Each structure stands twice: as C-alpha cells, then as structure tokens.
Amino acid sequence: MSDSAPPPIRPLPETVVNRIAAGEVLARPSNAVKELLENSLDARSTTVSVACAQGGLKMMQITDNGCGIAPEDFRFLCRRFATSKLKTYDQLQGGEVDTFGFRGEALASVSHVAHVSVTSRTAAGACAFRGTFRDGALLPIDAGIAPDLGGPEDPAPGEDVLQAYLTPTSGTQGTAITVEDLFYNVPARRQAFTNPRAEYVRILDIVSRYAVHYPGVAITCRQHGASRADLSTPGRLASPRQAIQAIYGAEVARNLHDIDIPRDTTGDLKVAVRGLFSAAESRFRNPVFFLFINNRAVSSPSLKRAVDTLYANLMLTAGGKSSFVYLSLTLPGAHVDVNVHPTKRFVNFLEEDRIVELIVSTMADRLQTENTARRFEVTPLGSPALDMAPSTPRASASGPRAPDTPSTPRTRPSSSISSQTSSPQFMVRNSSASQTLDSFLLRRGDLRAAAEPGTGAMVLDAPDTPSGQATGTPSTLLDTPTRGAPILLRSVRLLRQQCVAASHSDLLALVRESIFVGIIDGRRSLLQHGTRLMTFDHVRLAYELFYQQVLVQFSQLNTFEFDQPPSVRDLMLLVTSHGPLLESDVAASLADSLTAGHTSAEDLATKLAEVLLARASMLQAYFGIGIDEQARLTHLPVILPGHLPVLARLPIFLCRLAHHVPWAEESPCLEGLARELARFYAPDPRDITDAGGDAFARPLEQVVFPYIKSYLLPPEHLATDGSILQVASLPDLYRVFERC
C-alpha cells in the first residue's frame, strides 16, 4: 500500500495532444500519401501525380486537377476537425458518406509533424494562391504582420487580410500539396525509418491500388526529379483490367480471371463483388492483394487469410508461386462502419464471415476446375540415366534453377496436345482413372512410326490437390520472404547461402518434375520422373526440407500452442530416467553424464531444462519455441502448414537441443537448432509402426512431398549417398523386350 498522494490529473498541452493524434493517423509516409491521394480523388480530379524524395520522408508532393480550395478556406485547411465533406453525425451512421475523408483530421495531422505548403486554384479563381502551414495554422507571410483570420462563425476574411497569409501565384485549376521533413519533430519515429527505399515501395503499393481501382483517373508516381514515372496510368481507361495492364503489363492482365457476384436482391447477404484474380499456377514475384470496400482501400485480415490459404493449397499442385487478387466489394452504406481505425485502414462490415466464404468458394470453384482440367507434358530427359555424379561448381549466374523458372507442369492448349505423337516408351500413366492401359499398347507399325526417343511428349493429368491445411507461406532460399520484415542475422544469411551453393541442379530439376507414386517403407518412397522410376529416401529429403524451411522462415515461423503446456523438466526427465533404454546417441551421452558425474536423473533433467530456460527468449523469437516463466513448453513452430511433428519424440528433441547444440558460438548454435528442429519434424522410420501406416503416409504424401517438390533445394550429397536411386527406365525396358 502506498502512502504517497496520487499525482494530479491535468489536461495535456494542446501541442502534445495534436502530436499524439497525428502519430496515430500517420504511422509512416505511405499513410500521408494515401490521405493526400484520397483528398485529390474527393476533389474529383482526373489527373493526380505523386512525387517523393527519400521515401516521402524528405518530401512528398501530390498535384491534382480537382476542384481546388477557395482562398478564404485556407485558414481551415489544416485545422483539426474542419472539413468540407461531413455535415452531421447521422450522415456517418446512415452510411451516406461517399467521400474518403469525413473527419477533417488528415491535413491537420500532417501539419503537426511536417512542414506543409499548399498551392491551389479554383475554377472561378483568377489565379492560384500559396500558403504554408505549421501545427494546424496558416502561417503569415511576414511573421510581424498577422491580422486575425477569424473563426468558423465569423465572416470570411477580406482580401486585405488574406494577402498577409497567401501569395498569389500562377497555376492551373487544382491543388498541389507539398509535405517536407516528415516527423522532423518526432525524432524517435523519424529514426525508425532506416530504409527510405522500402518506404517508397510502400508508397508505390498504395498508389497502384488506387490506380487499379480508379482506371478513369490518370495517376503517376515517381521519385522526385526522375524523368520516368515508376507507375503510370493514362486515365480514361474502361476497366481495372486495363489499369493492371498499364501498371503490371499485358501478360499479367491477360491471365486474370474475373469474379463478378451480383447483389442478391432476395437474400439477406447484400454484397456485390467484382474483381480479378490470378490462376493458381501464376508466378508473380510478389503476391498482390488489393481490397476495396465501398471504394475504400482497406485491409480485411480474415479475407486475406482465406484467400492465401486457398492459393497455398492449389499452388502446391499447380506449381504457382504467388497470387494477384483485386477485389471490390459493394455493401449497403449502413452495413459498413468506416470510423473504426485512425488510418481508416480497417472497416467493420456486417456478415463478414459469410461474405468471406462466398468470395473464397466462388474463387475456389473456378481455380479448382482449372486445376483439374490442366494437362501437362512430361519431357523426357536427354540422357537415359540420371547422372548421379556431383555437379561441377556452377558459375553464380547459372545457379540452381529457381522455382520461379518455368518448369513442368507446363500448360498447353488441348488442341495442340491432341496433335502430339508419342512413342510408347515415353508414355506414362499416372492415374488408372485417367487412361486405360490399352492406350499404351501400340501395334508394330505404330512402333516403327514412333518418333525418335527424346522427341515424344505425353499428356498427363495433374496430380490431385493435396489436402494439407496450408496457412503459412513457405518459400525457397531463393525467394524474398513474403511476410513482414524478418530478423536476418548475418550468420543465417550465410547458412542460407551455403544451402543455395550446395544444391545440385540435376537433382533440383528431377525433384521439381517428379510425381509421387507411393511409400515403400518407413524410409523409402517411389517417385516417377518422366519415363523413369526412382526410389528416394524421404527421411533425408524431408530433413533437408525442414532444415531449409527453418532458415527461410527464421524469426517468422508460425506456431501452435499447447492446450496444457507440459513442464520442460518433466519431459527431460522422461529421457534422463529411461535414457539408457532409448536407442539413440543422446541417450548414450546422457547415460555417460549420469555415470561420470554421478548425477541423479532428476538433477540432470533440471540442468538440461535450465539450459533451455536461459535461452527462452531467443528460442521464442527466432524459432517459435515458446517456454514460459514457469518453465512450461507453450509453443512449437509450424514449419509446414498442415504438418505437426510426432510428439512422442518431443522429450528426446528437447534433450538434444539442450545437450547437442553448441550454444557458445552464434552460427553453429543457429545451425544446430535448425538441424535439431529438422530432425524432430522429419518423418522417422519408427513412426510408421508407432503411428500406423496411414497416419505416417498421409502427411508425407499430402504435405511433405508436395513441399519437397516445390521448395527443396536438394544438396549435392543426396546425389551420391544413395538417397535417390533409379530402379527402372521405360526406354531401357523396351530395349530388353524388343530383344526378347
């Protein structure tokens, strides 16, 4: 209990209040650009150009040809809660606001954290006027002479008063707003922006959203002083697709599907949806997701998550990389609350879950039909046998084929497919439902007429969609991570580079183009590559995949939570007290520790648990392994969406972490942790008896193998250590049969 008197409650000084409020509206330069761009669109501009210096931090200028600002209104331009758009609160509640702005807060906020100058001319104005603003107020031209501008109830100031504040200047109709030295008076925030280029990319992202959604408006965005715009739409375009073509190119625009769900006038779900979305096989560099609700650019985490999950699942089989989705929802105004976030980034809308479901199921129908209908060819390799010798070191320019290099499956129009001639030794069946064996039996004449080996091509059905619950976004070591900024230590970067350098190009091609046939036993599976059948060691390949994925998703791993977190020490005790019974190197070395130091199993378990506890924050931040203050294991990472480790191996995993990882040095420690995680998550031949055949096979076939196929960069040693072996080759078998 404290005897001291409570500190007095006092209102904050106005400047502090305004700066705090400004900090909420403007988190970063792109927020300011969005506000200014929306003002230009509210002013019914048909041309808007954006120019930025140092990612908008040094300067941003937005110029439009809209209605302009009357000289007598300049005094309210940067005043908080002064607006020309909203008159009554009922308008907001009734959803009657059809402008982006309604609060009269954006320009005020900008003026509290930056230097603002505005030049504007109305249609009726004889010339343009320029004024400068600081902390919400219009500054007099000469600080010594400052006649009162009056308040909202006073009559508009006369010309004699205005001339002390505004400079007449030449200019066409419209407004140019210049914002300089953003966050000049909030040093902590200013210093947080260490990468102006990244801020400019965010600005480009937001400008391109509006450019797509407003194809009728000519919008450009450039770096200040650059002669070429980084983004430009000509205006007067008929559709968002044309705007996408102008920004992203014809190829992107051509390959987008339309979504058009009209408003159901009879049902209770009063939403209309229009938009465009890419095929599941698309290979854009970065994913794009633009959402507009009642013409406002907003975020909807639930819709984004649902769309991402849909694509993640379909892309596994279609070989896609990232998606392009533009959605525009129109809802009755009264169903949407736009006033829920300081940056207006989020809106609340009724029936969100059902609307998400409607959109995603409509997209899924279209994408799944396309996925099932896909036909692709299998191109036989030039050499009949896979050269398993280590590949010669590659020049960096010809590194392993990146997953975004088009590889099979390749799509072809079905007409061109049907005209293909195929020699039987290059025909492969991968589904009993798709083709009968008869089609493989050719008559003698056909055989002679068959094309030279290596020139035939055969049409196959695409494998079925895996049913793994893909929620994350794994990528290869060659991709830029898609989620928020990762913590990337130099040592992790080096480990990643080692994986890239060690990858084997022939194996990479083989893995990417192979089809999973089935599991032979706990260690081996069968794989079809063109006309050849291979066995592969799924334990080793999965181990490499998990190791690489831990590095790729370093510090960004999704996690799952234990309902009842077990005590780390109790888990360790399971090993230390029964260790010698376990057939494992960790058990052996623990047994040594027990006998050498005459430590009891309890003490040893406590010591091992303490090793992990001392590193709990690092384990959590970098690897998603959560240990709380009561030394309970709360979280484990989800390395591949839809895949969990076999928890029976959890105690031994924790012991190995504590005992085997070289904690003293950064790089070996991080590598050791990543490898231990990989060992724990990869299948173990013993799981097949513990878990039962189906429980072992299903995750392997439906989750692990598709990810191996799409994301693994196979290290060179897999080519020589017997991990992948050819067991049959159709052309060779034919040669044998022909001799018979």
Ligand X SMILES: Nc1ncnc2c1ncn2[C@@H]1O[C@H](COP(=O)(O)OP(=O)(O)OP(=O)(O)O)[C@@H](O)[C@H]1O
Smallest distance from ligand X to CB 69, Å: 5
The rounded Cα 722 to chain-centroid distance in angstroms is 36
Contact status: 56 vs ligand X (CB under 6 A): no
Q: Which stretch binds ligand X (CB under 6 A): 1-9, 36-44, 316-324, 724-732?
A: 36-44
E strand segments, 234-359: 256-261, 272-278, 283-293, 296-297, 322-330, 336-337, 348-349
Q: Which stretch binds Mg ion (CB under 5 A): 39-47, 219-227, 262-270, 484-492?
A: 39-47
Backbone angles phi, psi at 353, to 5 degrees: -60, -45
Smallest distance from ligand X to CB 33, Å: 12
SS3 sequence, 2-25?
CCCCCCCCCCCCHHHHHHHHHHHH
Q: Among 26, 32, 60, 107, indicate the residue that binds ligand X (CB under 6 A).
A: 107
Residue nearest to ligand X (CB): 101
Contact status: 83 vs ligand X (CB under 6 A): yes
Smallest distance from ligand X to CB 528, Å: 59
Q: Which stretch binds ligand X (CB under 6 A): 96-104, 493-501, 667-675, 693-701?
A: 96-104
Both structure tokens of 5: 């008197």
Both structure tokens of 614: 């001392």
CB 152 within 8 A of CB 76: yes
Contact status: 101 vs Mg ion (CB under 5 A): yes
Smallest distance from ligand X to CB 32, Å: 10
Q: Among 18, 30, 31, 39, indicate the residue that binds Mg ion (CB under 5 A).
A: 39
Contact status: 103 vs ligand X (CB under 6 A): yes
Q: Among 46, 47, 84, 330, indicate the residue that binds ligand X (CB under 6 A).
A: 84
Smallest distance from Mg ion to CB 107, Å: 7
Q: Which stretch binds ligand X (CB under 6 A): 104-112, 259-267, 366-374, 569-577?
A: 104-112
The rounded Cα 296 to chain-centroid distance in angstroms is 22
Contact status: 609 vs ligand X (CB under 6 A): no
CB 652 within 8 A of CB 584: yes
> By C-beta, is 248 or 346 nearer to ligand X?
346
Helix (H) or strand (E) holding 633: strand 633-638
Give me the helices (H) in 421-537, please: 444-449, 490-502, 505-513
Both structure tokens of 196: 């102006």
> By C-beta, is 84 or 469 nearer to ligand X?
84
Looking up tokens 């379909």, which residue turns up? 314
Contact status: 121 vs ligand X (CB under 6 A): no
**Is the four-CA dihedral 339, 341, 346, 351 of positive or negative sign?**
negative
Q: Give the separation between CA 573 and CA 608, rounded to whole angstroms.
A: 9
Q: Give the separation between CA 408 and CA 463, rounded to whole angstroms.
A: 12
Measured between alpha carbons, how far is residue 79 from residues 33, 107, 151, 287 in Å?
A: 19, 8, 11, 39
Q: Among 77, 218, 627, 712, indicate the residue that binds ligand X (CB under 6 A).
A: 77
Contact status: 296 vs ligand X (CB under 6 A): no
Q: Which stretch binds ligand X (CB under 6 A): 64-72, 205-213, 382-390, 481-489?
A: 64-72
Contact status: 66 vs ligand X (CB under 6 A): yes
Contact status: 48 vs Mg ion (CB under 5 A): no
Give the total of residues touching ligand X (CB under 6 A): 22
> By C-beta, is 40 or 465 nearer to ligand X?
40
Q: Give the separation between CA 106 and CA 118, rounded to whole angstroms.
A: 14
CB 62 within 8 A of CB 176: yes
Contact status: 105 vs ligand X (CB under 6 A): yes
> By C-beta, is 68 or 468 nearer to ligand X?
68
Contact status: 594 vs Mg ion (CB under 5 A): no
Which of Mg ion, ligand X, none does residue 306 bind to, with CB < 5 to 8 Å depending on kind?
none
**Do the strands 375-378 and 458-461 form a parallel or antiparallel pair, or are they unpaired?**
antiparallel
Write the burial class of residue 56 (CB in 10 Å: 0-12 exposed, 13-18 middle, 19+ buried): buried
Both structure tokens of 73: 């209104």
Q: Which stretch binds Mg ion (CB under 5 A): 97-105, 162-170, 669-677, 688-696?
A: 97-105
The answer for residues whose C-beta is within 8 angstroms of residue 219's C-beta and 6 or more apart is 47, 48, 49, 50, 207, 210, 211, 231, 232, 233, 235
Q: Among 40, 208, 422, 528, indicate the residue that binds ligand X (CB under 6 A).
A: 40
> By C-beta, is 133 or 349 nearer to ligand X?
133
> By C-beta, is 175 or 245 nearer to ligand X?
175
Contact status: 47 vs ligand X (CB under 6 A): no
Smallest distance from ligand X to CB 48, Å: 9
Contact status: 128 vs ligand X (CB under 6 A): no
**Do the strands 128-134 and 218-223 form a parallel or antiparallel pair, or are they unpaired?**
unpaired
Contact status: 106 vs Mg ion (CB under 5 A): yes
Contact status: 77 vs Mg ion (CB under 5 A): no
Binding site for Mg ion (CB under 5 A): 39, 101, 106
Binding site for ligand X (CB under 6 A): 35, 39-40, 43, 64, 66-69, 77, 83-85, 101-108, 175
